[in-house]
């Protein structure tokens, strides 16, 4: 489905029909011919030569979005596995205010407000925050909502949650100049103790949501340009760097989770996790990535470890 006129016309289709076309569109348009052309070279302390493919980072790119999702998940996993329990907030922006929050400065202002609010309410807590740009039903309607994982939280009394909603509404009205009247704002909250549930939440939060390529859908171009280079995922609090032994245990947990998601799973999730954390899976020593990039692509003689990592082999 590469006809821009047809893509424009689906705006009036029922949601279920629209989603069918958009799924076909996301798979068929712009297959990322330019992605993966640049790589970074690395050598571990044991002498193994590695190549890491550099991707464009655009969430709508079918070449790199799934790989980058895996990289985000693996990068954050050591942090979330330290959480024995956690609270999960979703701060939604009312539709009449979304236009105001369509640039980096306004989004940062809202995110800073939420972070400071939660830090005051829960001293010593630490958390992870990430924006979703669109909902699951309509990939062309801007629907920003902020996902927040907070370590150590459990049940929140109803009056505390209502206070969060009330203060959040006052903040939104103040910065946008839009009065919501008696309308309530949506702040959803849940809490969990289960590690498996935590991993599923992390996978959900780190997924790409800007799935429609603005090159083929003109109404999204201003938004894509405004969000270009935006740092979507942020953390607060003090996070200790895991030891080598901890990384080994986390790698096993990662492998178990990945293999549990699919009948086949990834080829070698344990080794992939180590690569995501710059550790050579062959000798368990640190990989030093060289400065600069090369445009030669993937070497002719290599072994593919997945997720854009290649071991360079001698002839």
Structural domains of the chain in order of their starting residue, each with its CATH number? 31-76+242-312 (no CATH), 86-236 (3.30.70)
| CA-based radius of gyration for the chain | 21
- C-beta neighbour count of 191 within 10 angstroms: 15
Please list, in sequence order, all residues whose beta carbon lies within 8 angstroms of the beta carbon of residue 74, skipping any fewer than 6 positions away: 254, 272, 273, 276, 277
84 class by beta-carbon count within 10 Å (0-12 exposed, 13-18 middle, 19+ buried): exposed
pLDDT at 187: 98
Work out the burial of residue 117: count CB atoms within 10 Å of its CB; fewer than 13 is exposed, 13-18 middle, 19 or more buried: middle
Predicted local confidence at residue 243, as pLDDT: 81
Kindly give the parts of the chain with pLDDT less than 70.
1-34, 261-267, 315
What is this structure's pTM? 0.84
Count of CB atoms situated within 10 Å of the CB of 106: 18
- Name the one residue in this structure whose structure tokens are 């709508």: 60
How large is the greatest C-alpha to C-alpha distance in the chain, in angstroms? 72
pLDDT at 34: 60
């Amino acid at each position: 489905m590469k006809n821009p006129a047809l893509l424009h016309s689906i705006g009036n289709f029922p949601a279920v029909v629209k989603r069918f076309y958009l799924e076909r569109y996301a798979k068929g348009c712009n297959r990322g011919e330019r992605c993966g052309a640049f790589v970074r070279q690395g050598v571990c302390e044991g002498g193994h030569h590695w190549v890491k493919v550099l991707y464009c980072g655009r969430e709508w790119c079918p070449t790199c979005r799934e790989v980058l999702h895996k990289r985000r998940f693996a990068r954050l996993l050591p942090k979330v596995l330290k959480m024995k329990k956690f609270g999960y907030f979703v701060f939604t922006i009312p539709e009449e205010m979304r236009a105001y929050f369509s640039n980096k400065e306004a989004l940062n202002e809202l995110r800073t407000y939420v972070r400071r609010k939660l830090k005051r309410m829960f001293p010593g807590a630490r958390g992870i925050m990430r924006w979703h740009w669109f909902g699951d039903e309509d990939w062309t309607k801007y629907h920003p909502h902020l996902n927040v994982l907070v370590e150590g939280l459990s049940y929140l009394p109803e009056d505390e949650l209502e206070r969060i909603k009330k203060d959040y509404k006052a903040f939104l009205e103040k910065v946008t100049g839009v009065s919501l009247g008696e309308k309530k704002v949506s702040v959803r909250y849940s809490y969990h103790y289960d590690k498996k549930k935590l991993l599923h939440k992390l996978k959900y939060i780190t997924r790409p949501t800007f799935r429609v390529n603005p090159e083929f859908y003109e109404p999204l171009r201003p938004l894509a340009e405004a969000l270009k280079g935006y740092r979507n995922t942020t953390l607060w609090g003090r996070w200790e760097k895991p030891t080598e032994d901890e990384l080994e245990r986390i790698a096993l947990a990662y492998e178990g989770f990945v293999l549990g998601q699919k009948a086949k799973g990834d080829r070698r999730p344990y080794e992939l996790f180590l690569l995501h954390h710059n550790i050579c899976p062959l000798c368990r020593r640190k990989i030093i990535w060289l400065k600069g990039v090369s445009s030669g692509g993937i070497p002719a003689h290599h072994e593919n470890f997945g997720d854009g990592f290649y071991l360079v082999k001698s002839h």
